[in-house]
A and B are shown apart, each in its own frame.
Chain A
Amino acid sequence: MGRLVLRRLGATIPVLLLVTAGVFSLLHLTPGDPIDAMMAESVDATVKETLRRQLGLDQPIPVQYAAWMKRLLHGDLGRSIRNGEPVLESVGRRIRPSLELTALAMTISLVIAFPVGILSAYRHNGPVDRVGTSFALFGICMPNFLLALLLIFVFGVTLRWLPISGYLDPLEEGWSGLRSLVLPAVTLGLALAAVVTRTLRSSMLEALTEDYVRTARAKGLSEWAVLRGHVLRNALIPVVTVLGLQLGTLIGGAVITEYVFALPGVGRLVVDAVFARDYPLVQGVVLLIALGFIASNLLVDLLYGLIDPRLRRG
């Protein structure tokens, strides 16, 4: 287990290098320029040139990347071109709403997906299965922004049960903070629940036909023990994979959901930074997103080991 973690951590370095170098070149190759974007109305070419020189934007891209990397190794992510704020501070402030949203959305999806998925598989083609399958299809087909607007219309505008937009920190504001995250978390959670339900259902169906299930039943185990100890446990691997991938994506920011609900999360930060061509800020967020993916993959690998002892030695 310890070796696995070490090996994984070792593998992060080339991944981070590739990701940051890739994004760096893509961003610099995209037309548009941070100084033009920032000083839209000012046309003083010498001012712009001076600023570009000060910020090192006149250097070749590899040189700029090397400089960025060098600062990074000293723990310095640089400052936003647009407003001079240290990148670490901006990103640090944004990660909290994104993590809270991720946690809530994950919880909602698990609370829905597990009972529905298990029952659907167990009572295959029964009424729960039919309803569950339809729900899953709905969840997968429904675009995020549309679901978000529908939820806002019903629960925000018509019933007025929940706030429509904005963010209060649940860790500081408690109940009202939680309320501010309910609609976005449900938006994300429903879509996620749909995917997890489908995955869980199909992998359970597969496990239910296995010989060891028949054996377990034959040796007189209760149905619940069979389901929990043999079917579910064997069906969990694909589910954990799906959850791991989604976790990485959510930490990196749910751009559309954050936009619609006006949440100050990582997704909105990176999109705005891209539009402003705020290179250091984009790099900082990308680094964070990559780290999020790596961490969630590592978590998935560790969970594999917990679920399936055969994978522990890997």
Chain B
Amino acid sequence: MAARRTGVSTGTVSRRDFLRTAAASAAVASSAGLGGVRVALAQTAPKKGGTLRVGFYIEAATMDPHLSGSKIDRQVYHNIYEPLVTLDVKLGIKPGLAESWQQPDPKTLIFKLRQGVKFHDGTDFNAEAAKFNFNRMKTEAKSVRKGELANVDSVDVVDAYTIKLNLKKPDAALLATLTDRAGMMVSPKVAQERGGELERNAKGAGTGPFEFVEWVRDDHLLIKRNEAYWNKQGGPYLDRVRYRPIPDDTVKLQSLQAGEIDVIDYVQPRDVAAVKADKNLVVVDVPSLADFAYQLSHTKPPFNSKPLRQAVAYALDLDQIVKGVWLNVGVPANGPIPPTSWAYDKSISPIKRDVAKAKAKLAEGGKAGGFAFTLTTNNLPINVQEAEVMQAQLAEAGIQMKIKLVDSATLISDGNAKNFEMISYQWSGRPDPDGNVYQFFKTSPGTSLNWSGISNPKLDALLDQTREVSNHAERKKLYTEVTKILQDELPMVFIVHPIEPKAFNPKVQGYEPIPDGMMRFKDVWLR
């Protein structure tokens, strides 16, 4: 065994180091470094064949992209379905099922669709099919896409391969939204004939490089190469991809080390150092779009008092949290926008710890002797650790934090019901900054992700402007303003933008780390 592996590892080290550098440069979005990955991986000619075995931390929830509210589902979708537009490694938007698009005015978006694309069931993808999909997302009872497409008023078929989206109001983020589930096209025939069964069986439903074969829940999900894939450049090379949920992180990692699986979707921070030291594994640090924070309830004591919110923010030491809890597998957050985004302003630093200032703020808020509050957070090891560190840091400023551990269903319903003082919020992130910002901070009565209940007219106006302006440079300026207001008003205390390291068997080639964390296997092959 050892002998067989030595031969591989010499070649591996350099490649791994290269990938690590590449991923690091992806973090600062350096185009040169990223262009390099492709070239380096393509040095040997890709080879067809083989089954790629992927380990996931949980089971997928549904195979219907329009009904999906779970991040893990998207990992599968990006191989069997295709969105109208897709992301590149720098989060730029490139053609997908739409060859090109134009925006004659801020309230109209026209897509020229690719011709000759067929769904896996043999039916044609065309303008009628695209229109069907948008209507389905907007009207289907269980659709989770309604919010994302709220600004789409209607969809017109211009000709057989052109559609026109009429918007209710300008929405600069819409295009980026269409790179994911809201832009994914499902065969109208399958959707109509199969109905709710599509959630469990996606046979024939997509246009992607791989076709759905079978799904045995909690056991495996199998997809196979689409031999009739429209894009003749590059892959798909793999015969099949077999996904398996392995809920225990240690066992998942060991399965990779033992060669039972070839890829894992996520390496826990506590394992990263060991995995990187393992010469038989390749680690790619994929910077994520995620934003892990805590919402503070603005509508009731104690956090309806701004000085008390600020006292908490000044009492927390983000560097210590990121170093001690996240083991540097992430960066301290200055706000909701991750460093991977074009809208990230690195001149704004995360709020620095200042216990004296925290105490002054306590006095200003009329609680010179400190106060007590309750944090509601997920009962997961890393959340518990983080909460305990925060508890100790806050105690040094005289603030007493009680920890209430709940499961995620309770967390979501407590949040929606605004039944908390401080609550954990872990957002997987969206390619456009709008997805990390607008719905969390815009004044919104009733249920929304604005759990804190913040309502600030200046912020509201800025947020609306970010949707109306389409120029990146101008939008970035607006987001800088937004971030500054958020650091002052504190609807959330922002903690960390985690990195999502993925680990591979060295025989896996051609993986491109796109910062949305989704593993697209079209050009992946096995050595």
A residues sitting closer than 8 Å to B (CB atoms) are: 30-34, 36-45, 47-48, 50-51, 54, 82-85, 90, 93-94, 149, 152-153, 156-157, 160, 163-167, 259-262, 264, 268-269, 272, 275-277
B248 interface hit (Cβ, 8 Å): yes
CA gap between A260 and B200 in the complex, in Å: 25
Cβ-neighbour of A262 out of B62, B142, B244, B258 (below 8 A) = B244
CA gap between A268 and B415 in the complex, in Å: 27
CA gap between A288 and B200 in the complex, in Å: 23
B217 touches A165 (CB 8 A): no
B218 touches A264 (CB 8 A): yes
CA gap between A94 and B216 in the complex, in Å: 10
B374 interface hit (Cβ, 8 Å): no
B461 interface hit (Cβ, 8 Å): no
Known: A36-B416, A44-B147, A167-B219. A157 touches B254 (CB 8 A): yes
A149 touches B407 (CB 8 A): no
B288 to chain A, nearest CB (A): 16
B349 interface hit (Cβ, 8 Å): no
Find the A residue at minimum CB distance from B150.
Answer: A44
B149 to chain A, nearest CB (A): 11
B247 touches A262 (CB 8 A): yes
CA gap between A272 and B219 in the complex, in Å: 14
Complex interface bits, B224-255 against A, C-beta within 8 A gives 1, otherwise 0:
00000000000000000000111110111011
B409 touches A262 (CB 8 A): no
Residues of chain B from 369 to 417 with CB closer than 8 A to chain A in the complex: 406-410, 412-414, 416
B352 to chain A, nearest CB (A): 32
Query: Which residues of chain A come closer than 8 Å to B199, judged between CB atoms?
Result: 83-84
Known: A39-B142, A152-B251, A262-B251. 7 other contacts (CB 8 A): A31-B413, A38-B69, A41-B69, A43-B416, A167-B219, A262-B218, A264-B218
Known: A33-B413, A90-B217, A156-B258. A165 touches B251 (CB 8 A): yes
B216 touches A31 (CB 8 A): no
B1 interface hit (Cβ, 8 Å): yes
B residues sitting closer than 8 Å to A (CB atoms) are: 1, 59, 61-62, 69-70, 141-147, 196-197, 199-200, 216-220, 244-248, 250-252, 254-255, 257-258, 260, 406-410, 412-414, 416, 439, 446-449
Can you offer 13 A-B residue contacts whose CB atoms are under 8 A? Answer: A32-B410, A38-B61, A41-B449, A42-B143, A43-B439, A44-B146, A84-B197, A149-B251, A160-B258, A165-B246, A166-B244, A262-B218, A268-B218
Query: Which residues of chain B come closer than 8 Å to A153, judged between CB atoms?
Result: 254
A259 touches B244 (CB 8 A): no
A157 touches B447 (CB 8 A): no
CA gap between A272 and B258 in the complex, in Å: 27
A164 touches B61 (CB 8 A): no
B446 touches A45 (CB 8 A): yes
Query: Which residues of chain B come closer than 8 Å to A40, judged between CB atoms?
Result: 69-70, 408, 412
Known: A83-B199, A165-B251. A272 touches B59 (CB 8 A): yes
Query: Which residues of chain B come closer than 8 Å to A166, judged between CB atoms?
Result: 219-220, 244, 246, 255, 260
Per CB-CB distance, the 10 closest pairs between chain A and chain B, nearest first, are A32-B409, A264-B218, A37-B409, A42-B144, A45-B447, A32-B410, A264-B219, A31-B410, A262-B246, A40-B69
Query: Which residues of chain A come closer than 8 Å to B439, judged between CB atoms?
Result: 43
CA gap between A268 and B218 in the complex, in Å: 8
CA gap between A41 and B141 in the complex, in Å: 15
CA gap between A82 and B144 in the complex, in Å: 13
A84 touches B200 (CB 8 A): yes
Query: Which residues of chain A come closer than 8 Å to B448, judged between CB atoms?
Result: 43
Find the B residue at minimum CB distance from A162.
Answer: B258
B409 touches A157 (CB 8 A): no
Known: A39-B144, A260-B248, A264-B218. A164 touches B254 (CB 8 A): yes
Cβ-neighbour of B251 out of A31, A34, A44, A260 (below 8 A) = A260
A75 to chain B, nearest CB (A): 21
B409 touches A33 (CB 8 A): yes
CA gap between A186 and B82 in the complex, in Å: 45
A32 touches B244 (CB 8 A): no
Query: Which residues of chain A come closer than 8 Å to B145, judged between CB atoms?
Result: 42
A251 to chain B, nearest CB (A): 18
CA gap between A156 and B260 in the complex, in Å: 10
CA gap between A83 and B248 in the complex, in Å: 23
A34 to chain B, nearest CB (A): 8
B409 touches A47 (CB 8 A): no
Query: Which residues of chain B come closer than 8 Å to A264, judged between CB atoms?
Result: 216-219
CA gap between A286 and B218 in the complex, in Å: 19
Query: Which residues of chain B come closer than 8 Å to A156, judged between CB atoms?
Result: 254, 258
Query: Which residues of chain B come closer than 8 Å to A42, judged between CB atoms?
Result: 69, 143-147
CA gap between A264 and B247 in the complex, in Å: 11
A166 to chain B, nearest CB (A): 6
CA gap between A47 and B218 in the complex, in Å: 29
Known: A39-B144, A43-B147, A43-B439. A261 touches B251 (CB 8 A): yes
Query: Which residues of chain A come closer than 8 Å to B196, judged between CB atoms?
Result: 84
Known: A36-B416, A157-B257. A51 touches B142 (CB 8 A): yes
A47 touches B143 (CB 8 A): yes
Query: Which residues of chain A come closer than 8 Å to B410, judged between CB atoms?
Result: 30-32
B141 touches A51 (CB 8 A): yes
Find the B residue at minimum CB distance from A166.
Answer: B244
Query: Which residues of chain A come closer than 8 Å to B144, judged between CB atoms?
Result: 39, 41-42
Cβ-neighbour of B141 out of A37, A54, A157, A262 (below 8 A) = A54
Cβ-neighbour of B255 out of A47, A82, A164, A276 (below 8 A) = A164
Known: A32-B409, A82-B61. A164 touches B251 (CB 8 A): yes
Query: Which residues of chain A come closer than 8 Å to B406, judged between CB atoms?
Result: 31
B145 to chain A, nearest CB (A): 8
A269 touches B218 (CB 8 A): yes
B246 touches A152 (CB 8 A): no
Query: Which residues of chain A come closer than 8 Å to B260, judged between CB atoms?
Result: 163-166
